[in-house]
Amino acid sequence: MKKINLRMAVIVMIVAIGLVMMSCDDTTPPRDPLYESHSDYAIQVSNLSNVDLVAFSGSLTAANRIGGIPAKSSNHGLQRNTTFFPSTPRSFQMLFITRADYEANLANLGALTNKVYIRTYVFWNGTAGDNTKVYEISEKLGGMHRLQIFGPGNYDVEFRENGIAGPTIGYAPSKMSLTYLSVDAGDYFIFPVFQRYNTRRDIMETIIPIRPAQGNIPEGPFNYSFSFSPAATTQQTRMLNLNDASNSLSKMQTGVVYVYVNNALQSGQGIRAYRGSIPMMTPHGNYIIDAGDFQEFAILLPQQGTAYMPSLTTSFSIMVGSTGVDVVSAQTASAQNPTKSFTLLADKMYTIDIQPINGVQATIELREGQTGGPTAFEPDDPVTGLTS
């Protein structure tokens, strides 16, 4: 019996020593809540780079910190802080710095103003809006080479890689004549995408400048090619001048469908418009359209690889008080089963007309050339822009 007890004691001691050694070898750092992904996110970010990033709103101060995004993470949800993401829509510049720079400069984040990893332009659609868009950060950022960008003019400009809906490699604020991007060695195929808040129409305009046909090269989105040698041991600099793209904005694509809602009901009958189950809101958070008034809305087309789909299939409805009314095709409005699902084309403006017919009738004309039919979208003053 003593031998058995002794043998058992030895076994227990060996197991205990093993557990202690295992615990000592576990060097996994504790999970930092700053870098957690949230299911109740405000926006989503895919960080394709090799470094952890920390996001800020507008400027690098502790009060403006939004959250962290781990390297190589997809659809990472940044928590909704009502300071940055209130109930109504807003747009702002988001700045990202590396985790290493952030932790080394906690007492003086302002010192990193010239070491921002990437800037991007973010649009928050409010608590009732659609915030499923994923902002992608390219894996080629943060290197020793420099891309100098001249002349964004009156538009904010995003620079996207390999296509108009590709990962973002940088952002140039409007009216800033010179912007720098730090990039890794490699080949770059960059597409500028212009964005502007139109104060007169209360819509966000996304505009893709179109390059005219040249010889056997057909017209298409403006793009720029650069190469930084992997063999270089010192900083290389390349220059990107946006003047040609800015001056081409009389010929453009938007990657957006625009919807004009006209409320011709009697006084006191304000309406709310819905796309599917999502309320349609302006950038300032307006969603009630008073009787005798109208409002424009912008709908971003679905992404297809590094481009946008050429069309969108959707449905609309309106609420008059507590009464819901489906929007139907004007062509089939008098039919027993009118069409309620519509395919809308990019760069077009469609009109939803609400009339006091048989109570309330809401129609959309899909046929070009018909009264109230779709027309090409034209921003106000497309070259010089409006003050935003």
pLDDT score recorded for residue 385: 33
Phi, psi of 167 (to 5 degrees): -60, 145
pLDDT score recorded for residue 7: 57
The sign of the CA dihedral 264, 270, 276, 281 is positive
**Average pLDDT of span 179-189:** 87
Chain Cα centroid distance, residue 279: 18
Under 8 Å between Cβ of 186 and 220: no
Q: Is the pLDDT of residue 306 over 80?
A: no
State pTM to two decimals. 0.69
Q: Is the pLDDT of residue 161 over 60?
A: yes
CATH of domain 256-376: 2.60.40
**pLDDT tens, residue by residue, 49-93:** 889 999 999 899 999 999 999 999 999 999 999 999 998 878 888
| Domain boundaries along the sequence of the chain | 33-253, 256-376
In percent, the amount of the chain with pLDDT more than 90 equals 40
Under 8 Å between Cβ of 198 and 177: no
Q: How far apart are the first and last CA of the chain?
A: 89
Nearest to 385 by CA among 179, 174, 239, 182: 174
- 307 versus 110: the higher-pLDDT residue is 110
